[in-house]
Structure 1
Amino acid sequence: MEEIILVSNESGIRIDAWLCGKVKDYSRSYIQKLINDGMILVNGKPVKSNYKIKQNDEILARIPEPQVLDVVAEDIDVPILYEDEHIIVVDKPKGMVVHPAAGNYSGTLVNALLKHCGTNLSNINGIIRPGIVHRIDKDTSGVLVVAKSNAAHEGLSEKLKDHDIERVYIAVVHGIIREDYGKIDAPIGRHPVDRKKMAVNTKNGRRAVTRFKVLERFKDATYIEATLETGRTHQIRVHMSYIGFPIIGDTVYGRKNDIYNINGQALHAKKLGFVHPIKGEYMEFESPLPEYFKELLEKLRKS
């Protein structure tokens, strides 16, 4: 473990921001993680990230040795839409989990990326989630950006935090939405009873905003495009269910008597647009409509 001892000659600056300026090789989010883990001490005591340093504070930063990745690389074919030394943009197939978790340590996007990129993935999110800046659900297909360098990871994280990444999805929902456009502004948090689910939660939820427009209407279903202004867990699925139009195939937030049998929700991450975190140029990527989605639309059109 590396130990860095510093003495401040300034005051009134947040400890995480101050350390970022002094310890150049580590991102602010990583510094914040060290603070939360009790690895940063001020005058011998742990502090919070918003602690403001004082003149002559003695700061001890204990930085663990990098851990060797113990998630197994696997030869899994994942379409790559773009790649450079800082980022890789992939088209995640339906049914693939983004990163390993308890009981599911193989067959994930991370396993595939480790085979393709080796150790050239950012380590900010640790061994289990190297390179992962944002996620889409197992049964949601579509475009996803992954960070290869820590600098890119930090930049993308800031853009997500500031809502500077355009994320457009398409979905097919139960019921006929009469309005051509809509906006759902309802906070999302953990379900008060079932902790495995999310829900609109006005007491403990965080602000969540989804905009949608109708693309096509069917007998008892609607094809929509949804744009995220925020990025809460299961946001589109929760919001559409909340307003009475759950996504077809959604076994968690959808109808119990779903007749379409598509094995997972009809939700696809169609477009991702952002300014490259290192090169500074705007980039936009689109994932083509997957076969399962085409088949569902064709079935609905025929009915």
Structure 2
Amino acid sequence: MQENKTVETHIVPPLSIPIRLQEYGVGVFSSVPTKSALKKVLKKKFITVNGAMASTGTYINGGETITLIVPTEITANKKLIFELRVIYEDEHLALIHKPGGILVSGNGFKTIAHALPQNLQPSTLPNTTKPQPVHRLDYATTGVLLTGKTGSAIRKLNQLFEDKKVQKVYYAVTIGEMPPYGKITSPIDDKNAESHFEVVQSVASEKYGTLNLAKLDPKTGRRHQLRKHLASISNPILGDQTYGREGFILKGKGLYLHAYSLEFIHPFTAEKISITDDLPKRFTKIFGML
């Protein structure tokens, strides 16, 4: 291992009105995809604007050169080779299938974020950047994941999630008898949380009693929300080794939670984007083709 520095430079295009750097800078740099990450690097004084140290109070008017210099530890010439299935792609954004058993992002080597550049076409737009996921799916969760390919796309997609303008549908296999539909509102980490569910199909199971195919609509986005909420009503998700009931833990086949669809208005074309990712075969083995 050796100490090194990651240097990224961004030239600001003409702007109609000044904007604070802590708003403009979200998604500009590949290693700073979120607002909280941007605040951290500003606090650590890793960003300059036209050579001057920047802060959260710095305003951007257009034409400036923004530079990010982050001390990093690197390993010798390691490159992640990981093929992803691309469901939809244009110059601004892409939706990909996330397999189970891989982190979306983080400090690890094998992440979706590291694999995106080799699987997506580079944008030809002026503010193109390294593609970045704009939301999270758990390590074990499969399904559709939204990514941005330009700085402005990453910012606008992040805003769509903050404004709750992205409709998400998940499917899960749950254990035990449950009502045909319902709403769970128990707080998570002392924050409001809301999940809606509808049982699509149920089958008898010798080991588990009843297995349900549940359609899930999370209204908030707390960490492990669906897993915690379903466990809280005694219907844990099959394969959940963290929140499942003792004696009912299924090992070796992953978590039966799938991000099935995303729907939103494209922030640049104003088209309605509605993308689905078919249920994995392990779901249809239990319930048949739906």
Could you say whether these structures have the same fold, taking a TM-score greater than 0.5 normalized by the shorter chain as the test? yes
| CA displacement 1:181-209 (0-9 Å, x = unmatched) | 211112212xxxxxxxxxxxxxxx22211
Distance 1:221 1:228 in 2: 21
| Change beyond 3 A, Cα 1:37–1:184 | farther
1:264 paired with 2:254, answer: yes
Q: Contact 1:74–1:111 (CA<8 Å) still a contact in 2?
A: yes
Match of 1:5 in 2: none
Distance 2:101 2:217 in 1: 22
| Change beyond 3 A, Cα 1:36–1:68 | closer
Unpaired segments ≥5 residues, structure 2: 1-6, 9-17, 49-53, 60-64, 205-209
- Pairing 1:1-303 to 2, within 5 Å after superposition: 18-19=20-21, 29=35, 32-37=39-44, 63-65=67-69, 72-102=78-108, 105-106=109-110, 108-117=111-120, 122=129, 131-178=132-179, 180-189=180-189, 205-219=190-204, 220-258=210-248, 260-261=250-251, 263-298=253-288
1:273 Cα shift?
0.7
| CA displacement 1:203-250 (0-9 Å, x = unmatched) | xx2221111111112232221100111111111001111121110110
Distance 2:191 2:157 in 1: 21
Q: Secondary structure at the match of 2:222?
A: coil
| Change beyond 3 A, Cα 1:231–1:117 | same
| Change beyond 3 A, Cα 1:187–1:72 | farther
How many pairs align? Answer: 250
**Paired-residue identity, %:** 29
Per the normalisation by structure 2, the TM-score is 0.72
Distance 1:22 1:286 in 2: 31
Distance 1:22 1:101 in 2: 24
1:18 Cα shift?
4.2
Distance 1:222 1:25 in 2: 39
Amino acid at match of 2:203: F
Distance 2:256 2:237 in 1: 6
Distance 1:26 1:115 in 2: 19
Q: Secondary structure at the match of 2:282?
A: helix
Unpaired segments ≥5 residues, structure 1: 3-15, 54-60, 124-129, 190-204, 299-303
Distance 1:221 1:236 in 2: 17
Q: For the aligned residues, what is the CA RMSD? A: 3.9
1:17 Cα shift?
5.2
Residues 238-247 or 92-101, more deviating: 92-101
Q: Contact 1:270–1:286 (CA<8 Å) still a contact in 2?
A: yes
| Change beyond 3 A, Cα 1:286–1:273 | same
Distance 1:260 1:20 in 2: 44
Distance 1:168 1:32 in 2: 31
1:271 Cα shift?
0.6
Per the normalisation by structure 1, the TM-score is 0.69
Q: Contact 1:173–1:245 (CA<8 Å) still a contact in 2?
A: yes
Q: Secondary structure at the match of 2:268?
A: coil
Q: Contact 2:26–2:151 (CA<8 Å) still a contact in 1?
A: no
Q: Contact 1:176–1:218 (CA<8 Å) still a contact in 2?
A: no
Q: Secondary structure at the match of 2:159?
A: helix
Amino acid at match of 2:184: I
1:166 Cα shift?
0.6
Q: Contact 2:46–2:70 (CA<8 Å) still a contact in 1?
A: no
Q: Contact 1:72–1:114 (CA<8 Å) still a contact in 2?
A: no
Amino acid at match of 1:257: G
Distance 1:213 1:264 in 2: 22
Q: Secondary structure at the match of 1:253?
A: coil
| Change beyond 3 A, Cα 1:285–1:186 | same
Match of 1:193 in 2: none
